[in-house]
Structure 1
């Protein structure tokens, strides 16, 4: 059998051509990056995403385009990222809902957050607050629960909608205290707050973001925040744990990418996002929306996802909550 030999120059040329795609497209980012936000424009998630996108663009010299993909409690937009090419050019600023809670609330999910997404960076945690109308005699959560147990017909606690973190926090509160509270679901934080201000309900469990102005002005009473530490923007409100109630409930924002995103891209994004949100400007910006900066390596985000997954699975299953 006759052997054929390629000239050395031709072989080198072919090898270079084959190696080109494998070697990548040069330093990342070499073109605009899409940051998907799975919630509507104008909300706190969107505003935080646009701030981070602008800062990343300034630092890395490429445009970071925010793309709002809404629907199914954040599942649609997060799924779009899970199914995107893992090349570093599609990422998401998502929340603990689609990243953790939704898989226990919906019968079927279009993605598996553990297998289909790469954790990149935790941005912040937003505590919930349990706030009451000032006409309610109780001025702390422990006393409120005691009064609600003694006279449940006159104590109704609102929440922003079934399956929301405000709802789950109330279920967690019932499990922690052994007191089943009468609850009322609303269609969002703002309608629930309006009901509270108008006296339709006596208290409300919701992320602190929408309630900050009324709490600051004394139009609402902060019975407790449900974070591990007090919220810096309203330090006079004690935590539930300080009052002997073993509960922690926060909603958190995090940046993720498709599984398989190059590790050097993940590391670069993690470093830059940590620097952005840890700056004095970043901390002040996030605090406006109730955010407490919480940074660390990608592994810290994975640990938080696993920890919250176990916690909220237990609460959701015990309460029998289903959204479809």
Structure 2
């Protein structure tokens, strides 16, 4: 009887070990070798860093290495195209953004793949909202003010963005279409030059992912008018959403895990469970927040619906504004 507590301790320890072993082998012997996560953008950017966070978490949970491989280019299309052509065995996955998963299909001709047909949705991870900010000399303190002010101008107000066909570009065109605002979108090659010309007054405003503008907003070199997510951005809680101002504008850069078409359901469900656990955890939320990302979670079906609905939404904008990416 004196050994009973020890026996219980051993049994509990073995149970925990077998539970972990069972997770790693829930799909037979998957994964029994290194899993590659293809990040569709260059090293060092937010998409790459998110991929590395997820890879580290999955490596710990499955007891097998998940490594990140960067395949950048064509707005994320090159990396995702590589995933679509991989064997659906769970050893090549993709960390992709809303561009190649939804928007790019209307911008790139020819498009090398159909995201809705050639990929298996696994899990949403997080999103980075846009922010509309103006040069401090612009007499507008809200996005609603800016729309009204633009209609009084003889010439359209100029709004810079990080590039032709980027979500910053699409968001301005969406706002123009739905409000009648007199806005002219001015594409740049990246966040930095778009922001610099807004600070310098060469353009009236800038629309870009919030993370790139925060330091200059906090330093009062730019005046934030609205964020374009459903909820306020935790890093700038005093900046209202467009929806709070009565404007129907939601535009974010969202990230998700996908695999090749035909990926076995058991693997998809297992990965979805683990990724959701991470994005819902205190650790996951904190690490994603450090990159300016609001965590997301959901089922593979919900990711599939997001891909479809976002593609339909931006199709109208791209066709109306006649936007192309050569």
Fold equivalence (TM over 0.5): yes
Range moving further from structure 2, 162-171 or 227-236? 227-236
| Structure 2 unmatched ranges of 5 or more | 1-25
Return the match for 1:243 from 242, 245, 265.
245
Aligned counterparts of 2:216 and 2:275: Cα–Cα separation in 1: 31
Matched, 1:80 2:78: no
Instruction: Report if the CA contact (8 A) 1:152-1:182 is conserved.
Output: no
The CA deviation string for residues 36-64 of structure 1, in whole angstroms up to 9 with x for no partner, is 01111001100111111111111111111
Show the 5 A alignment for 1:57-206.
57-153=59-155, 155-206=157-208
- 1:100–1:240: structure 2 CA closer, same or farther, 3 Å change rule? same
- Report the counterpart of residue 223 of structure 1 in structure 2: 225
Please give the alpha-carbon distance, in whole angstroms, between the structure 2 residues aligned to 1:256 and 1:113.
Answer: 10
CA distance in 1: counterparts of 2:182 and 2:322, whole angstroms: 14
The DSSP-based 3-state class of the residue aligned with 1:223 is: strand
2:39 is aligned to 37
Q: TM-score with structure 1 length normalisation?
A: 0.89
Structure 1 pair 45–244 and aligned structure 2 pair: CA distance change class (3 A): same
**TM-superposed deviation, 1:25:** 8.9
CA offset digits 1:68-92 (Å, max 9, x no partner)? 0011111111000000000000001
1:189 touches 1:210 (CA, 8 Å); kept in 2? Answer: yes
Corresponding residue for residue 23 of structure 2: none
TM-score for both structures, normalised by structure 2: 0.89
Structure 2 counterpart SS, 1:39:
coil
Which one has a bigger Cα radius of gyration? 1
Which of 43, 47, 55 is the aligned partner of 1:53?
55
CA contact (8 A) 1:152 1:181 kept: no
Quote how far apart the aligned CAs of 1:307 are: 1.0
Runs of 4+ in 1 over 4 A off after TM superposition: none
**CA shift in 2, pair 1:146/1:109, >3 Å:** same
Paired with 1:190 and 1:37, the residues of 2 have a C-alpha distance of: 22
Q: 1:207 aligns with which of 206, 209, 223?
A: 209
For residues 192 and 59 of structure 1, what CA distance do their matches in structure 2 show?
41
Q: Distance in 2 between matches of 1:218 and 1:81?
A: 43
Two-structure CA RMSD over aligned residues (Å): 1.5
Task: Note the 1:6-21 alignment, pairs <5 A.
Answer: none
Contact 1:131/1:223 (CA < 8 Å) preserved in 2? yes
Count residues with an aligned counterpart: 301
